[in-house]
Amino acid sequence: MPNAAPLDLLLLPTWLVPVEPAGVVLKEHGLGIRDGLIVYIGPRAEALRQQALQVRELPGMLLSPGLINAHGHAAMTLFRGLADDLPLMTWLQDHIWPAEGQWVSEDFVGDGTDLAIAEQIKGGITCFADMYFYPKVAADRVHNSGMRAQITVPVLDFAIPGARNTDEALHNGVELFNDLAHHPRITVALGPHAPYTVSDENLERVRVIADELDAMIQMHVHETALEVEQSLEVFKERPLARLGRLGLLGPRFQAVHMTQISDEDLALLVESNSSVIHCPESNLKLASGFCPVERLWQAGVNVAVGTDGAASNNDLDLLGETRTAALLAKAVAGSASALDAHRALRMATLNGARALGIQACTGSLEIGKAADMVAFDLSGLAQQPIYDPVSQLIYATGRDCVSHVWVAGKQLLDDRRLTRMDEQALCDTAIAWGRKIAGEARSTQ
- Domains of the chain in start order, with CATH, are 9-65+371-414 (2.30.40.10), 67-355 (3.20.20.140)
Least confident of 88-92, 95-99, 281-285, 409-413: 88-92
Q: How confident is the model at residue 3 (pLDDT cuts 50, 70, 90)?
A: low
Taking all residues of the chain, what is their mean pLDDT, rounded to a whole number?
96
Kindly state the average pLDDT of the residues 110-117.
98
DSSP string spanning 315-336? ---HHHHHHHHHHHHHHHHT-T
pLDDT tens, residue by residue, 117-159: 999 999 999 999 999 999 999 999 999 999 999 999 999 999 9
How big is the CA angle at 249 (ends 245 and 252), to the nearest 5 degrees?
A: 155
Residues sharing a CB contact under 8 Å with residue 361, sequence separation 6 or more, in sequence order: 353, 369, 370
Residues sharing a CB contact under 8 Å with residue 92, sequence separation 6 or more, in sequence order: none
Per-residue buried b or exposed e for 338-357, using 16+ beta carbons within 10 Å of the residue's own CB? bbbbbbbbbbbbbbbbbbbb
Element (H, E) at 8: none
Residue 6 has phi, psi (to 5 degrees) of -65, 155
Q: Which pLDDT does position 1 carry in this prediction?
A: 44
More confidently predicted of 1 and 248:
248
Q: Cα separation of 436 and 427, whole Å?
A: 14
In one-letter notation, the amino acid at residue 63 is L
pLDDT tens, residue by residue, 171-193: 999 999 999 999 999 999 999 99
DSSP 87: -
Helix, coil or strand: residue 312: coil
Q: What's the distance, CA 327 to chain centroid?
A: 19
Share of the chain above pLDDT 70, in %: 98
Kindly state the average pLDDT of the residues 262-281.
98
Q: Which pLDDT does position 441 carry in this prediction?
A: 52
Tell me: pLDDT of 329 over 50. Answer: yes
* pTM, entire model: 0.97
Q: Cα separation of 349 and 340, whole Å?
A: 15
pLDDT tens, residue by residue, 7-48: 999 999 999 999 999 999 999 999 999 999 999 999 999 999
Q: Which pLDDT does position 91 carry in this prediction?
A: 87
Element (H, E) at 95: none
- Smallest CA-to-CA distance from 350 within 342, 359, 340 is with 359
Helix, coil or strand: residue 75: helix
C-alpha to C-alpha distances, 84 to 80, 112, 297, nearest whole angstrom: 9, 19, 31
Share of the chain above pLDDT 90, in %: 94
